Amino acid sequence: MQCIEFLNYPISEQPSDLQWGFRIDGTDLRVYAAEATRGLWRQESEDEGPEEEERFLLAQHGGLSLSETGDPVRHFLGDPVPGFADPSTGTTPVLGCSCGLWGCWPLLTVITTTPETVTWSSFRQPFRKEWGELAMGPYVFARPAYEAALAEPVRLAADPLRTLGEKKR
């Protein structure tokens, strides 16, 4: 089973304007999404340098605003408010667009729960149906640990990928 960390960090310079992020086994979910979409983007885009490509891939998604998700327990247990749900695919957004509007470029997943586990699987990008299911996951979490992590998210001072990028310079 995987280990999940729920993160809260500022969207902007306003420290009270927070968003949700995630680490699975210590790696930001956006890194997994970048890996899963790297080859798909290469088929669509001009040949970019490796640094520009990496920056683009890591910046394609942002977190979900705390105010948008409503009840986070319901949301992250696969029962989002109707505005977030996609009944045709049974998916829930776990990442939004880096522009700040979740629906602009969401990362969707099927969240399945049992009394023992929570599973994130069948990741999709709804605006690239031809991509189909992305090559990431499934991620299976022990439900007690998942719920404990969700109840007490790690509070960060900044976007963890921004901090990572600053260390590389």
Q: How would DSSP label each residue in 115-151?
A: SSEEEEEEEE-TT-GGG-S-S---EEEEHHHHHHHHH
* pLDDT score at 20: 93
* pLDDT score at 166: 41
The mean pLDDT of 55-83, rounded to a whole number, is 88
Q: What is the pLDDT of residues 97-156, one digit of tens each?
A: 888 778 889 999 999 999 999 999 999 999 999 999 999 999 999 999 999 999 999 999
Under 8 Å between Cβ of 19 and 8: yes
pTM reported for the whole predicted model: 0.89
The mean pLDDT of 47-52, rounded to a whole number, is 77
Under 8 Å between Cβ of 11 and 65: yes
Q: 93-110: buried (b, 16+ CB within 10 Å) or exposed (e) per residue? A: bbbbbbeeebeebbbbbb
Under 8 Å between Cβ of 91 and 109: yes
pLDDT of residue 44 exceeding 90, the answer is no
* pLDDT score at 143: 98
Determine the Cα–Cα distance for residues 143 and 3; give it in Å rounded to an integer.
Answer: 10
Maximal CA-CA distance, the chain:
47
The mean pLDDT of 34-50, rounded to a whole number, is 83
